[in-house]
A and B are shown apart, each in its own frame.
Chain A
């Protein structure tokens, strides 16, 4: 691997992101902000939901924010750059194995996803205060889960971005991301599905379910959640799976 070339690729993405910083911020934070405000503030404040829902909701919002950002940050540029204009060509010709060009995209998406996730905590704290009860008892496990969630989001973005054509972007969001979010244990804990045993089993194929439950387990452990061991294993498997599929799709797309 050629470290200089890798860093230069990363520098290019940072440079472009900096140029688009305002739309990037809106895209990343508007949706979680609105969710936190409506569900955490309006619904709870008006008495339709219990005060403790604030704390239950936060990990789910953080998971959505990370997954959405990770997928978007990798998939959208790739879909554009592999289109007719082949903007990515110059980077594919850089003196580095082309898999590293893909990995660079993943690393950059991962960083964005981590930032998008972590920023939700202080934002939510400002909007939801008082009544928000976070108990980070195992910061290392929290960090580990955060990285794994960001990882599968970015790798998933790679796999999607190299499999979806520009004309199917809308479909990708409505067919993949929307069901993922609603069946991702984001607005409710997994145990809330006890009365729907089939759905409860089915959502276990959704990586976002492990993301929400994992963040719930490490941020608000006072609520019921899946076992941490299961969460860690499942997240690691999704990371590896999406990376392998993503790299294969990338290579197929890059070389004719």
Chain B
């Protein structure tokens, strides 16, 4: 089956400041001759392959290149080199065909402030050739779904950020695109609206539509995405299902243990258990244990401690997380 989204060796080098929402990679200097323009490498050989019907997440810190990738795929940012396809159309050779396939929600609300919420949806439908009846019907249904009906006929100028974001997403769904791009869709949303949004995204995906979303929120990536690519400094540094990615971190589990008492012998004994990569004493009776497995280690720990006459008083297992993964690949925390 043809990929819904594919990119091959996508590169983007900005010679002037990139748009505010786009990525800002590491700066390097251009050729010294003539006027040396500062060059900013936003994308450095991005290869993506997104299967139809997938919810695909691009996860990375601010400035990693997420928005630039979305920009290239949605005809808004011209790549310096490389190719991008959406639904089999080369985005930069056959723009109009590509635009028919996509719906886009930008990072910042870019609503038409001269129109009401309903008009925004209806005109959007008109741009895509929907009939008058279809436009009104779909706009009504989407306004209802996004809980915007009571404000539908007011100018969006006065809407709150969260409401604008909902209108943006409804608008992107108006022409029922095959591929939906959501750039940081839940940034700035309250938890309630975020849950509504997740529900709507899943619903849309169940209709067989492909969704590519960018996020720096680990919880969101984990909860929504079937496939993830982790991006940093314009490179994809890892990709796979959230589970695969998390399992790929060596010693991804962290077991925080508390004993009646600890001794060097106990620490040594714990270090020999299968799968344990590091044992660290963190206090009088507390031990942090990094390991490749979690719950299955507990009986062995209890037995080892019992053999030395020590009791286990507390156990806390933290599962492998994307945070750990990002830390593992980049040496930096995602939240930095």
Contact = CB atoms under 8 A, between A and B. Distances in A.
Interface of A: 2, 4-5, 8-9, 11-12, 15-16, 19, 84-87, 89-98, 255-256
10 contacts: A4-B126, A12-B112, A85-B113, A86-B108, A87-B112, A90-B111, A93-B76, A94-B128, A95-B129, A97-B96
A89 B129 contact: no
A12 B123 contact: yes
A84 B109 CA distance: 10
B100 interface: yes
Given A95-B99, A255-B78, 17 more contacts: A2-B96, A8-B123, A8-B127, A12-B126, A84-B20, A84-B108, A85-B110, A85-B111, A87-B113, A90-B112, A90-B120, A91-B127, A92-B75, A95-B128, A256-B14, A256-B19, A256-B78
Contacts of B75: 92-93, 255
Contacts of B99: 93-96
Given A4-B129, A97-B95, A256-B77, A11 B100 contact: no
A11 B125 CA distance: 12
B126 A256 contact: no
A54 B231 CA distance: 70
B128 A90 contact: no
| A-B residue pairs, 9 tightest by C-beta | A8-B126, A94-B127, A89-B110, A86-B110, A16-B114, A95-B100, A4-B129, A95-B99, A12-B123
Given A5-B128, A12-B123, A90-B171, A96 B96 contact: yes
A255 B76 contact: yes
Contacts of A9: 127
B74 to A, nearest CB: 7
B104 A93 contact: yes
Given A86-B106, A86-B110, A90-B110, A11 B115 contact: no
**Range of interface residues on B (Cβ < 8 Å):** 35 or more
A80 B207 CA distance: 37
B44 interface: no
A108 to B, nearest CB: 13
B76 A92 contact: yes
Contacts of B18: 256
Nearest to A8: B126
A91 B128 CA distance: 10
Nearest to B109: A85
Contacts of B171: 90
Contacts of A11: 123, 126
Interface string B303-314: 000000000000
B114 A19 contact: yes
A144 B22 CA distance: 46
A19 B114 CA distance: 9
Contacts of B147: none
B242 interface: no
Contacts of B106: 86, 89
A58 B96 CA distance: 46
A253 B110 CA distance: 16
A95 to B, nearest CB: 5
B119 interface: yes
B293 to A, nearest CB: 47
A5 B99 CA distance: 12
A97 B100 CA distance: 11
B124 interface: yes
A117 B202 CA distance: 55
B96 A95 contact: yes
A94 B109 CA distance: 17
A95 B78 contact: no
B124 A90 contact: yes
B71 interface: yes
A4 B128 CA distance: 8
A85 B21 CA distance: 11
A256 B96 contact: no
Interface in B162-198: 171
Interface centre among B14, B19, B95 (most CB of A within 10 A): B95
A93 B71 CA distance: 11
Contacts of A98: 95
Given A86-B108, A87-B112, A89-B110, A95 B77 contact: no
A90 B197 CA distance: 21
B20 to A, nearest CB: 8
A11 B135 CA distance: 14
A15 B22 CA distance: 32
A16 B76 contact: no
A94 B126 CA distance: 9
Nearest to A100: B96
A84 B110 CA distance: 9
B126 A16 contact: no
Contact of A87 (B14, B104, B110): B110
A256 to B, nearest CB: 5
A256 B74 contact: no
A93 to B, nearest CB: 6
Interface string B33-74: 000000000000000000000000000000000000001001
B164 to A, nearest CB: 10
A15 B71 CA distance: 29
Nearest to A13: B114
Contact of A15 (B14, B108, B113, B119): B119
A9 B123 CA distance: 8
Contacts of A97: 95-96
